[in-house]
Structure 1
Amino acid sequence: MDSKELLNLIRFVAKAGVSEVKYKTKDFEINIKTPLAGSEAPISFAPQPVAYQAPITAPVATATPVASPEAAASSSEDESKYVTIKSPMIGTFYRKPSPDKDVFVNVGSEIKNDSVVCVIEAMKLFNQIEAEVSGKIVKILVDDSSPVEYDQPLFLVDPS
């Protein structure tokens, strides 16, 4: 990691308002700690190494469970047939490639395995996220321009 990338990481930590970030790759490991005003419990991120090549594909898994038992019975039957596209990294979720362009996908959009469904910005790098599944977008689970965590569900896809 060169000094420019290190400065970008430090700026990212300062903007995120967290007290500690641990970043580890094959070559090195870095821990950045900052005082977090008004917070006694430290918050930590464990970011995954970010490849500097686009596009990055999102891991595919099953739908997440619902909290209430009554809703779980009915919605688990409905959502069990859907595939969840999850975030492969932490960052900021964007539905558009740029503010003046149209969104990548909407509810009801047909997608293919290599379709770009969103962009996640991490440390000033915009990473295109591919679907890795063919089907129809059923639900968009994240608002545009909102922060996302690693492995956070982004979209529900009907693969049929």
Structure 2
Amino acid sequence: MDIKEIQNLIKFVAKSGASEVKLEMDDIKITIKTGSDSETTIVHQVPSAAQVPQMPQMAAPQPAAAPEPAAAPAADAAKGGKDDDSKYITIKSPIIGTFYRKPSPDKPLFVEVGQTIAEGDVLCIIEAMKLFNEIESEVSGKVVKILVEDSSPVEFDQPLFLVDPS
């Protein structure tokens, strides 16, 4: 677990309104406490360097969602070759939550495969802690592939869309 991942975890906890979060794994112990004075405390311990490769267990904050997102990217990598996807821009999840392709069940999808998108277009919604966050495109192009099923859990930095910028 690197510093950037820890910083993103701190931001997520601060936004969630939780006062304390403890994350314990075989090789890492992290405690994040947020107080009314916006002070944040972190404890990070790594007993031995030999255990560091176990980083996929980082998904411990949502144990129920951990197995499924880990399997989805592996399945996608097995389906398509890396060479085919290298020319595309990958839009990744900025937060942990539940992925939705439409604003509500009775509304149309935000985007579909083959649709041209512009910078700032809403691509999906990710629900985190009962908050619905619109995920906007940072690039213009054509949606080539949607990598996540509707109403499924997503992890931080998980690929969501492939966009052809040309």
Specify if TM > 0.5.
yes
Q: Is the 8 A contact 1:117 1:130 kept in 2?
A: yes
Quote how far apart the aligned CAs of 1:42 are.
9.6
Structure number with higher relative contact order (C-alpha < 8 Å, ≥ 6 residues apart): 1
Question: Could you give the per-residue CA deviations for residues 23-68 of structure 1, whole angstroms, max 9, x where no partner exists?
Answer: 567632589xxxxxxxxx996239xxxxxxxxxxxxxxxxx9x867
3-state SS of paired residue (1:77): helix
Q: CA, structure 1 residues 79+67, in 2 after alignment: closer, same or farther (shift >3 Å)?
A: closer
3-state SS of paired residue (1:45): coil
**d(CA) in 1 for partners of 2:128 and 2:42?**
17
Question: Could you give the per-residue CA deviations for residues 99-158 of structure 1, whole angstroms, max 9, x where no partner exists?
Answer: 111010000011011111000000000000011010000000000000000000000000
**d(CA) in 2 for partners of 1:42 and 1:137?**
30
Alpha-carbon RMSD: 3.7
Gaps of 5+ in 1: 11-19, 32-40, 47-63
Q: CA, structure 1 residues 125+43, in 2 after alignment: closer, same or farther (shift >3 Å)?
A: closer
Aligned-pair identity in percent equals: 58
Quote how far apart the aligned CAs of 1:5 are.
3.8
Q: CA, structure 1 residues 30+44, in 2 after alignment: closer, same or farther (shift >3 Å)?
A: farther
Q: TM-score normalized by structure 2?
A: 0.58
Match of 1:132 among 128, 138, 142: 138
Match of 1:76 among 74, 79, 82: 82
Runs of 4+ off more than 3 Å? 4-7, 20-26
| Paired AA for residue 143 in structure 1 | E
Q: Say whether 1:103 aligns with 2:109.
A: yes
Structure with more of its chain in helix, by fraction: 2
Q: TM-score normalized by structure 1?
A: 0.60
| Paired AA for residue 61 in structure 2 | F
**d(CA) in 2 for partners of 1:153 and 1:43?**
15
Gaps of 5+ in 2: 1-12, 22-28, 44-56, 63-73
Q: Is the 8 A contact 1:22 1:44 kept in 2?
A: no
